[in-house]
Structure 1
Amino acid sequence: MLVNMNNMLQTAVKNNRIVPGFNVFGYEDAKVIIEVAQTIGAPVLLMTNKDAANFMPVKYYGALYRKMAEEASVDVCIHLDHGKNVVDIAKAIQAGYTSVMYDGSAYPIEENIKNSKDIYSICSPCDVSLEVEVGCVSYSEPGLNVSEKLTEVEEVLAMSNEVNVNCIAVAVGNVHRMTEQKAVIDFERLEKIAKVCPVPLVIHGSTGIPDDQIEKLRYYGVGKMNIGTAVRMAFGNTVRDFSNENPHIFDRIQLFQKPMEKMKKVVTEKYRLLGW
């Protein structure tokens, strides 16, 4: 069933669970993720990140993912990740996305709030849920000069008081695109934020977070966790190994079977850690 993310996150937090948001890049990974969600009986977000949006227009992703979501037996939300401006957001809404993230993390909190209000004004009439980021989650990827700015309680309060957002992404030691589980979450900071924030929190950069910390996050008001690098590594590493072992195979469908099986295992394990 195609939905926005509002109810699924609120329900998850009440039950000490976290809804996974998986970055997807086409039919193969979306198919695997929906199949796992249906087997478990859990909701899911199919997310389009900036790399995917730069590769192919969101109108094509939207057409595919909407149809897959409509035919699913569980709640599926189609979400634009890290939209940087009104144009990005409007394109996603026109493409049928049911949820968007506005990333104003590079701006001072006053400008972030102002821009978030403008984004909300186009999301609300379309019943599109809105995620924002307060603070700034850094990247481990070389060449991406994004400085970490840990989330402050006062700024979360200001955002939630002035903009009717559905969830807030926070920076509490999590880092985008880590390939090893070496992140250290500042649970003391997170607890203070959770106590004052009226909406579910979001953790980006989950691949770098150790499993025991992921399980612990379920009890700190986190309703959504973004998962991208772990799934991409499972797919990419497996397709490379399979190609090296089977140099005579060139058919795309054959090449992708084992990577999809590996990805299914990773997705299933992430659901377990998130309380499903």
Structure 2
Amino acid sequence: MSLVTLKEVLQPALKQGHAVAGLVTLGWEDMRAYVAAAEAENCPVILQAGPSCRAHTPLPILGTMFRHLAEEASVPVVAHLDHGYTIEECKQAIECGFTSVMFDGSRKVLEQNIAETAAIAAMAHAANVSCEGEIGFVGYAGGESSAGTDPEDAARFARETGVDAMAISVGNVHLQTDRAGGLDEARIRAIEAVTDIPLVIHGGSGVPLEQRTRLARQSKICKFNIGTELRLAFGTALREAVNGDPDCFDRVQILKQTHDPVMEAAREALHALKSA
């Protein structure tokens, strides 16, 4: 069984100079391809169930799927709740077998974010589950704007919440469909200077591959969340499968054709974060 906690993969990453990919799942086809990619790259992988995934598939089902894949995998697999917005959601994920929960209080005032994140971290740790928190709001392409992380706020957040990983806002944006963006490395260095906690980048698809690799090896960023570029790979493969044979109506046969393209896209994301 290769089911592990977030802390178990991020602490070695911090010490050894690499990062782990948090791959955003939407269904069985992509999560299975992600584990196959991790096995091909011989590296850990974090399977993430975000809000849109949870709206489509109930948490108990997702927990069972993640755990089944982990038990069959030859590499470490983390079952991670991404963007949990309430203590009830995080509690349910823990009860459903997730080994890591991310509480997103980034829209709240600092004191409230710290208090609620600390309570969820304590609950998670009591169940031997890891907890990720977020300080500084990460915006969305074409939507809400980001609010950059203040280094002093980050130091206080890390110190007072007891989280195992801290997501920060340093120029990253969710749902970006190209890699034209870039991270504010000066802000990253300022945050690193005041905390030793593993750092997390949400919206990793918008970060150029070269910068991901360099920061994975030369900074305290130990986790990059990757979703949009994998959704694009899945959507492209699905379109080609449907349009390639108008007489094929079997969804299993159609969805099978997404496996290899999604696995290859996931391999690229995983490979970029490995140590030198």
Bin for the TM-score computed over the shorter chain: over 0.9
> Which residue number in structure 1 is paired with residue 104 of structure 2?
103
* Deviation of 1:91 (Å): 1.1
Gaps of 5+ in 1: none
> Which residue number in structure 2 is paired with residue 155 of structure 1?
153
Number of residue-to-residue matches in the alignment: 273
After superposition, give the CA deviation of every residue in 1:80-131 in whole Å (9 maximum; x if it has no partner).
0000011110111111100000000001111100111111221111011000
> Which residue number in structure 2 is paired with residue 29 of structure 1?
30
Letter in 2 for 1:265: E
% same residue: 35
* Deviation of 1:7 (Å): 2.1
* Deviation of 1:272 (Å): 1.7
Moved over 3 A (4+): none
Secondary structure of 1:198's match?
Answer: coil
CA distance in 2, matches of 1:194, 1:248: 56
> Which residue number in structure 2 is paired with residue 273 of structure 1?
272
* Deviation of 1:157 (Å): 0.7
> Which residue number in structure 1 is paired with residue 39 of structure 2?
38
CA distance in 2, matches of 1:206, 1:44: 15
Secondary structure of 1:213's match?
Answer: helix
> Which residue number in structure 1 is paired with residue 254 of structure 2?
255
> Which residue number in structure 2 is paired with residue 198 of structure 1?
196
> Which residue number in structure 2 is paired with residue 240 of structure 1?
239
Secondary structure of 2:258's match?
Answer: helix
After superposition, give the CA deviation of every residue in 1:213-251 in whole Å (9 maximum; x if it has no partner).
111221111111101111111001111122112111111
Secondary structure of 2:193's match?
Answer: helix
Task: Tell me whether 1:176 sits opposite 2:174 in the alignment.
Answer: yes
Letter in 1 for 2:220: G
Secondary structure of 2:134's match?
Answer: strand
> Which residue number in structure 1 is paired with residue 214 of structure 2?
216
CA distance in 2, matches of 1:30, 1:16: 26
Secondary structure of 2:222's match?
Answer: strand
Secondary structure of 1:196's match?
Answer: coil
* TM-score (norm: length of structure 1): 0.96
* Deviation of 1:40 (Å): 2.0
CA RMSD of aligned residues (A): 1.2
Secondary structure of 1:69's match?
Answer: helix
Letter in 2 for 1:33: Y
CA distance in 2, matches of 1:242, 1:64: 25
CA distance in 2, matches of 1:223, 1:181: 19
> Which residue number in structure 2 is paired with residue 80 of structure 1?
81
Letter in 2 for 1:258: Q
Task: Tell me whether 1:230 sits opposite 2:229 in the alignment.
Answer: yes
> Which residue number in structure 2 is paired with residue 185 of structure 1?
183
CA distance in 2, matches of 1:253, 1:55: 18
